[in-house]
Structure 1
Amino acid sequence: MSGFPRSLLRPGGYLSVPYALLGTALTLPAFPFALVVVLIPGPPQLHFVLALAVVALVLGLAGLAGPTRRFGVAVANAMLGTDLPSPGRARPAWPDRLRSAAWLVLHGALGGLLLMVEGMLLLGVLMPVMWLNGDQGQFSFFGATTDAGPWTVPVALVMLVAALLLAAAATRGFRAGAAALLGPSAAERAALAERRAAVLAQRNRLARELHDSIGHTLTTSTLHAAAAAELVEADPAQVRRALGTIEEASRSALEDLDHVLGLLREEPAAKEPTRTLTEVDVLAVRAREAGLDVRLAVTGPVAVLPAAVSREGYRIVQEGLTNALRHAGPGGVDVRVEARPDHLEIAVVNTLAGAGPRPGRRGLAGLAERVEALRGELEAGPDGERWRLSATIPLRAGA
Structure 2
Amino acid sequence: MSGFPRSLLRPAAYLSVPYALLGAALTLPAFPFALLVALVPGPPQLHFVLALSALALVVGLAGLAGPTRRFGVAVANALLGTDLPAPGRARTAWPDRLRSAAWLVLHTGLGGLLLAIEGTLLLGVLIPAMWLGGDQGEFSFFGATAAPGPWTVPVALVMLLAALLVAVAATRGFRAGATALLGPSATERAALAERRAAVLAQRNRLARELHDSIGHTLTTSTIQAAAAADLVEADPAQARRALGTIEEASRSALEDLDHVLGLLREEPAAKEPARTLTEVDVLAVRARDAGLDVRLSVTGPVAALPAAVSREGYRIVQEGLTNALRHAGPGGVDVRVEAGPERLAIAVVNALPGVGPRPGRRGLAGLAERVEALRGELDAGPDGERWRLSATIPLRTGA
TM category (shorter chain) comes to over 0.9
Which letter maps to 2:105?
V
TM-score, normalised to structure 1's length? 0.96
Partner of 1:392: 392
Once the two structures are superposed, residues 121-155 of structure 1 have per-residue CA deviations (whole angstroms, 9 ceiling, x without a partner) of 11111110121111222221354312122211111
Change beyond 3 A, Cα 1:210–1:10: same
Partner of 1:342: 342
Question: Aligned partners of 1:370 and 1:70: how far apart in 2?
Answer: 38
- What SS does structure 2 have at the residue aligned with 1:271? coil
Query: Does the 8 Å contact 2:4/2:165 carry over to 1?
Result: no
Once the two structures are superposed, residues 226-270 of structure 1 have per-residue CA deviations (whole angstroms, 9 ceiling, x without a partner) of 221222123222221111110111111122122222222323322
Query: Does the 8 Å contact 1:328/1:357 carry over to 2?
Result: no
Question: Aligned partners of 1:357 and 1:160: how far apart in 2?
Answer: 70
Partner of 1:160: 160
Question: Aligned partners of 2:254 and 2:233: how far apart in 1?
Answer: 30
Report deviation, 1:64.
1.4
Partner of 2:311: 311
Question: Aligned partners of 1:23 and 1:304: how far apart in 2?
Answer: 66
- What SS does structure 2 have at the residue aligned with 1:223? helix
Which letter maps to 2:187?
A
Question: Aligned partners of 1:30 and 1:277: how far apart in 2?
Answer: 69
Partner of 2:211: 211
Query: Does the 8 Å contact 1:320/1:348 carry over to 2?
Result: yes
Question: Aligned partners of 1:300 and 1:356: how far apart in 2?
Answer: 37
Partner of 2:238: 238
- What SS does structure 1 have at the residue aligned with 2:49? helix
Partner of 2:36: 36
Partner of 1:103: 103
- What SS does structure 1 have at the residue aligned with 2:155? helix
Once the two structures are superposed, residues 262-305 of structure 1 have per-residue CA deviations (whole angstroms, 9 ceiling, x without a partner) of 22232332222222112111101101111112121222222232
Which letter maps to 2:145?
T
Report deviation, 1:38.
4.2
State the aligned residue count: 399
Report deviation, 1:336.
1.3
Q: How does 1:122-161 map to 2 (within 5 A)?
A: 122-161=122-161
Query: Does the 8 Å contact 2:38/2:48 carry over to 1?
Result: no
Partner of 1:372: 372
- What SS does structure 2 have at the residue aligned with 1:349? strand
Question: Aligned partners of 1:65 and 1:174: how far apart in 2?
Answer: 21
Unmatched tracts of structure 2, length 5 or more:
none
Report deviation, 1:2.
4.8
Report deviation, 1:308.
1.9
Q: How does 1:321-340 map to 2 (within 5 A)?
A: 321-340=321-340
Which letter maps to 1:152?
T
Change beyond 3 A, Cα 1:398–1:98: farther
Q: How does 1:1-399 map to 2 (within 5 A)?
A: 2-355=2-355, 358-399=358-399
Query: Does the 8 Å contact 2:15/2:171 carry over to 1?
Result: yes
Once the two structures are superposed, residues 44-99 of structure 1 have per-residue CA deviations (whole angstroms, 9 ceiling, x without a partner) of 32222112112111111111122111111111111111111111212222111111
Change beyond 3 A, Cα 1:268–1:136: farther
- Aligned-residue Cα RMSD (Å) equals 1.7
Unmatched tracts of structure 1, length 5 or more:
none
- What SS does structure 2 have at the residue aligned with 1:41? coil
Query: Does the 8 Å contact 2:38/2:50 carry over to 1?
Result: no
Report deviation, 1:21.
0.2
- What SS does structure 2 have at the residue aligned with 1:393? strand
Question: Aligned partners of 1:380 and 1:146: how far apart in 2?
Answer: 92
Query: Does the 8 Å contact 2:124/2:159 carry over to 1?
Result: yes
Once the two structures are superposed, residues 88-111 of structure 1 have per-residue CA deviations (whole angstroms, 9 ceiling, x without a partner) of 212222111111110000000000
Give the fraction of aligned pairs with identical amino acids, expressed as a percent. Answer: 88
Question: Aligned partners of 1:260 and 1:64: how far apart in 2?
Answer: 42
- What SS does structure 2 have at the residue aligned with 1:88? coil
Report deviation, 1:371.
0.9
Question: Aligned partners of 2:109 and 2:358: how far apart in 1?
Answer: 68
Question: Aligned partners of 2:145 and 2:291: how far apart in 1?
Answer: 105
Query: Does the 8 Å contact 1:20/1:107 carry over to 2?
Result: yes
Query: Does the 8 Å contact 1:336/1:348 carry over to 2?
Result: yes
Query: Does the 8 Å contact 1:30/1:55 carry over to 2?
Result: yes
Question: Aligned partners of 1:321 and 1:101: how far apart in 2?
Answer: 62
Question: Aligned partners of 1:50 and 1:301: how far apart in 2?
Answer: 82
Which letter maps to 1:310?
S
- What SS does structure 2 have at the residue aligned with 1:268? coil
Once the two structures are superposed, residues 200-235 of structure 1 have per-residue CA deviations (whole angstroms, 9 ceiling, x without a partner) of 111111111111111111111111112212221232
Question: Aligned partners of 2:160 and 2:275: how far apart in 1?
Answer: 72
Report deviation, 1:346.
0.8
Question: Aligned partners of 1:212 and 1:158: how far apart in 2?
Answer: 69
